Chain A
Amino acid sequence: MKTNNLSNQLTKLTFTIKGMHCASCVKILEDSLSKVEGVSKANVNLATEKATVTYNPTKVTDQHLQSAVSSVGYQAVIKDEMEHEDAERLEKQKELHDLRNKVIVSLCLGGLILWGSFPGLMNTAPALLQNFFLQLILATPVQFWAGLTFYQATIPALKHRTANMDTLVAIGTTVAFGYSAFVTFFPQLLTPYTLNPIPYFDVSTIIIGLILLGRYFEAKAKAGTSEAIKKLIGLQAKTARVIRNGKEADIPIEQVKLGDLIRVRPGEKIPVDGVIVDGESSIDESMVTGESIPVDKTKGDTVVGATINKSGTFVYKATKVGQETMLAQIIKLVQEAQGSKAPIQRLADLISSYFVPVVIILAIVTFVIWYDFGPNPAFLFAMLNTVAVLIIACPCAMGLATPTAIMVGTGIGAEHGILIKDAESLETAHKINTIIFDKTGTLTKGKPEVTDIIVLDKLEQYSSSGAKRNREETILKLAASIEKGSEHSLAEAIVKKAEKQRLTLSRVEAFKAIAGFGVEGKVDGQKLILGNRKLTSKEQVDISDKLPTVEKLEKEGKTVMILATRPHTLSPNPYALLGLIAVADTLKDSAVEGVKALQNLGIEVVMITGDNKRTADAIAKKLGIKRVLAEVLPDQKEAEVKKIQAEGKKVAMVGDGINDAPALAQSDVGIAMGTGTDVAIEAADITLVNKDLRSVASAINLSKKTMRTIKLNLFWAFGYNIILIPVAMGLLYPFFKILLNPIFASIAMATSSISVVLNSLLLKRYKL
């Protein structure tokens, strides 16, 4: 917790200290903290394990305090992220409050001056308001109190020989105010120059009021661009119900240690990442992964911190805490992406670095040309047009055009489980015209599953009922019983299916695994074999009747296991077929739609796999993928990506981010279907934590929309300055007698940067 003591600019900070165990720790810590330059007082409380430090924030940072604590062997837990957000929020609130007051005062005073000085309007104003001295009195606080911020920014900038928008406003309004003050005090000095001695206090005050009003709205709108990060930070649970030494207690989340057992009740937030050790529940992970349907979890399943436990109570073991949790990783990634720069910004960067000096030069040129060649009163035309040029120029819009859109774009992505590594990836993604999907684990679930059970004639003797379902169960039960002792992945799929259907498996005798063929054993006195076609031909099982079915299944990319029996081992009778079980790596639910969505975007979809061509083709056919790269070894994937790039394509590679890291790195945009682990995030440009294949198209669409917004922003920002600066210089005057009043210039300037921010915020309306 942090409090500010404004009277002497000291700040008080209370934070948790880990590793304290005795009273001497208190003294050691207090001494160490007090020695930090800028710390005036340090109190450490053993009972609460907290330190309260009073310090000068201009000298001491959180890191200094953390270093002081760690130097004596303890750990300070300063919630830097939250504190930082709080500090920013408080300062923004104060800034908005100050701005609002200044805007109200400036526009009220400016309005009064305008009433008393604007031709046509002034006749209705009281005589007092038409008095130049009163106007000077009203304009002075606007210029030097409300407008102080422009001077405060200009003077130090000039010391560095740099200039920004504040410099232009300060020069522009000072010229208008200075001239008006001069006219007020020395009107007689202007008469010889055929100048009507009229001040322009309305110009200086209204400009300041309107520009500050623009800043007020801009600050409000800008806060919306970083909303996603604030939301993510806000997701973090505050406490955890930890079971230590058989006792349960709610403790602050910072004190949760690796290996702690944590109980989570229905409706509660899961505090940190971990693995369930007892109980089961349905968990809503939408806030972190973007996955909209609650996921059922039971013992052995992983849970993610900041997600919501919907139904049951469970106990889990903390496996990741603090900055290691998935939420912390996501926050870090989004923050980094928002700090990165898109290549498209380079031009804006280059122009904005020359912009202000060039505008000052143009303002001088405007003054000289109007003074030398303008109509009478030339000086007034020259001055007002110079002020208009200085005021209308808006470098801010150029500076805001790209980063605001990137912030909103990456934020929307994060809210939907699409994590974008940096602005460059977001920019490149919109150019992608080919996407290569790794098959196993990306398009498919990566774990074989039983897909078909086909019952054959000889089964009646094993089944008490003739119902198809029961006969299928019998096949599955026999196959699972015999496979239980096998470690093969296909066997695992069969046993898992039987367990899922809660079948009771029979005891197996004389089990034998025949490598490359299958397994054999005795169940209920019957000799059974289960294996591939090589096994049936070895055992001389006649499968000719069912060969078309076997081949059909194999063409679909499935592995077919044949179950056959004979009454007993020594029986002279040949084996009789019982049934077929087909096992295959099944497609993910979102695969078909995901591929179709990309094809609808006009993107060519390619599948890459180590599988044989027949299996690969079968899967590709189901997905509607026309180009298949089969029998590619893992280390050749990178070369295949290069080959497609050599065709002139912009390639994105979608993989799991762990096994195919080199191919992801080689592609123009590497997309990992990950869980937000460090490895996957490191390798990929875009990580899809929601594991939904439709998100690949969503990510490309998001990139297209963001780039469109950026281009529109830049077009607006450049176009605005390119068109309106010459208008303010008076370029249209010789042809149409059009000049830009400095007050209108300030309205245009204020709306220009707001419109860029608002346009970026419009991205939020885009539905992923």
Chain B
Amino acid sequence: MNPDKLFVTISGALAIVFTYWFFLMRNEKTVVAASDSIDIAVEGGYSPEVISIAKGKTTKLNFLRKDPSSCLEEVVISEFKVRRFLPLKKKITIELTPKKEGEFPFSCGMNMFHGKIIVK
């Protein structure tokens, strides 16, 4: 094998390992506990990404979309039957009063970006 081909092959293998590690071996994000209300920034994903809220109590999730990508223009919290449009740079409050404990995912309208609500 020519040196350039060897180089490309090794670089490719490393790039594959890196891609796998970078995207698919992410550590579980830190859980941020929300009291009465929590601000969630929407920019290339959700920050914080994992939120813990209390069962039986109403918690306000204030979404603020800073990302112009139309991918993130909607937030879907299907367990709570919520699909809301998030206007750019305008805070939108979604009130949740969970009745059961568990982990409930939320995502963008096209299911590309994800977050999680943990009800305790």
Over the window 339-361 of chain A, the binary record of Cβ atoms lying under 8 Å from chain B Cβ atoms (1 yes, 0 no) is 11100000011001110110011
B88 interfacial contact with A, CB 8 Å:
yes
**CB–CB B23/A58 < 8 A:** no
CA–CA, A403 and B75, complex, Å: 12
Determine how close the nearest CB of chain B comes to the CB of A396; give it in whole angstroms: 6
A77 at the interface (CB under 8 A from B): no
Interchain CA distance A287-B43 in the complex, whole Å? 40
Instruction: Please give me the residue from chain B that is nearest to A395 by CB atom.
Output: B112
Determine whether the beta carbon of B111 is less than 8 Å from that of A368.
Answer: no
Contact A403 B45 (CB under 8 A): no
A160–B114 Cα distance when bound, in Å, is 10
Whether a CB of chain B sits under 8 angstroms from the CB of A722 is no
**Nearest B residue to A403, CB-CB:** B109
In the complex, are the beta carbons of B5 and A371 less than 8 A apart? yes
Q: Which chain B residue has the least Cβ–Cβ distance from A90?
A: B87
Interface size bracket, B side: 35 or more
Q: Is the CB of B64 within 8 A of A58?
A: yes
Query: Can you sample 6 A-B contacts with CB below 8 Å?
Result: A149-B69, A153-B67, A161-B23, A352-B111, A357-B22, A357-B24
B38 to chain A, nearest CB (A): 13
Task: Point out the residue from A84, A160, A164, A219 that lies within 8 Å of B49, measured CB to CB.
Answer: A160
A159 close to chain B: CB less than 8 A: yes
> Is there contact, CB below 8 Å, between A163 and B23?
yes
Q: Could you say which of B45, B72, B90 contacts A58, with CB atoms under 8 Å apart?
A: B90
- Chain B nearest CB from A335 CB (Å) reads 7
Report the nearest B residue to A155, measured CB to CB. B44
Are A157 and B45 in contact, CB atoms less than 8 angstroms apart?
yes
Given A339-B82, A365-B16, A87 contacting B112 (CB threshold 8 A):
no
Q: Mark A88-101, 1 if CB is under 8 A from B, else 0.
A: 10010001000000
| Complex contact B71–A165 (CB within 8 A) | yes
Instruction: Report if A316 contacts B (CB, 8 A).
Output: no
**Which of A62, A164, A371 is within 8 Å of B93, CB to CB?**
A62
State A88–B114 Cα separation when bound (angstroms). Answer: 22
> In the complex the two chains form, is A364's CB within 8 Å of B19's CB?
yes
A162 and B87 contacting across the interface, CB-CB below 8 Å: no
Task: State in angstroms the CA–CA spacing of A336 and B79 once bound together.
Answer: 10
Chain A residues, Cβ within 8 Å of B77 = 339
Contact partners of B113 in chain A: CB under 8 A: 157, 160, 162, 164
B26 at interface (Cβ–Cβ under 8 A)? yes
* Alpha-carbon separation in the docked complex, A341 to B69 (Å): 23
Best-buried of B5, B68, B69, B93 by chain A (most CB within 10 Å): B69
Which B residues, 57 to 82, have Cβ-Cβ distances below 8 Å to chain A?
60, 62, 64, 67-72, 76-78, 80-82
Q: Give every chain A residue within 8 A of B87 (Cβ-Cβ).
A: 87-88, 91
Partner of B112, one of A341, A371, A399: A399
Does B35 sit within 8 A of A, measured CB to CB? no
Chain B nearest CB, measured from A617 CB (Å): 42
- Assess whether A365 is in contact with B45, with CB atoms less than 8 Å apart: no
Q: Report whether A372 and B8 are in contact in the complex, using a CB–CB cutoff of 8 Å.
A: yes
Partner of B5, one of A57, A91, A372: A372
When the two chains form their complex, are residues A166 and B43 in contact, meaning their CB atoms are under 8 A apart? Answer: no
Bound-state Cα–Cα, A161 to B80, Å: 27
In the complex, which residues of chain B have a beta carbon less than 8 angstroms from the beta carbon of A88?
Answer: 85, 87
Q: Does B92 contact A (CB under 8 A)?
A: yes
B74 to chain A, nearest CB (A): 9
What are the residues of chain A within 8 A of B16 when measuring CB–CB? 361, 364-365
| Contacts of B72-120 to chain A: CB distance below 8 A | 72, 76-78, 80-85, 87-93, 95, 107, 109-114
Q: A60–B39 Cα gap in the complex (Å)? A: 11
Q: Is the CB of B110 within 8 A of A63?
A: no
CA distance A154 to B112 in the complex (A): 12
Specify which chain A residues have a CB less than 8 angstroms from the CB of B8 in the assembled complex: 367-368, 371-372
Q: Is A104 an interface residue (CB 8 A)?
A: no
- Whole-angstrom CA separation of A64 from B64 in the bound complex: 14
Cross-chain contact B81 with A58 (CB below 8 angstroms): no
Tell me how far the C-beta of B29 lies from the nearest C-beta in chain A, rounded to whole angstroms.
9
CB of B17, distance to nearest CB on chain A (Å) = 10
| A352→B113 CA distance, assembly (Å) | 10
Given contacts A61-B92, A161-B22, A165-B112, contact A153 B9 (CB under 8 A): no
Which residues of A sit under 8 angstroms from B64, Cβ to Cβ?
58
Given contacts A61-B62, A84-B85, contact A153 B44 (CB under 8 A): yes
Q: Which residues of B contact A396 (CB under 8 A)?
A: 71, 110
Which 6 A-B pairs rank lowest in CB-CB distance, beginning with the nearest?
A: A156-B44, A399-B110, A153-B69, A160-B45, A339-B83, A368-B12
| Contact status A166-B89, CB under 8 Å | no
Say if the beta carbon of B31 comes within 8 Å of chain A.
no
Residues in chain B near residue A161, CB distance under 8 A: 22-23, 26
A160-B44, A372-B1 given. 5 additional CB < 8 A pairs? A58-B89, A87-B87, A337-B81, A353-B111, A367-B8
* Closest chain B CB from A61 CB (angstroms): 4
Name B39's closest neighbour in chain A (CB-CB): A59
Chain B min CB distance to A371 (Å) = 5
A327 in the interface (beta carbon within 8 A): no
Q: How far is the CB of B7 from chain A (nearest CB, A)?
A: 10
Give A62 to B67 CA distance when docked, in angstroms: 21
Interface 1/0 per residue, A361-394 and B, CB below 8 Å: 1001101100110000000000000000000000
Interface: A449 (CB within 8 A): no
| Chain B minimum-CB-distance residue to A404 | B109
Find out whether the CB atom of B24 lies under 8 angstroms from the CB atom of A57.
no
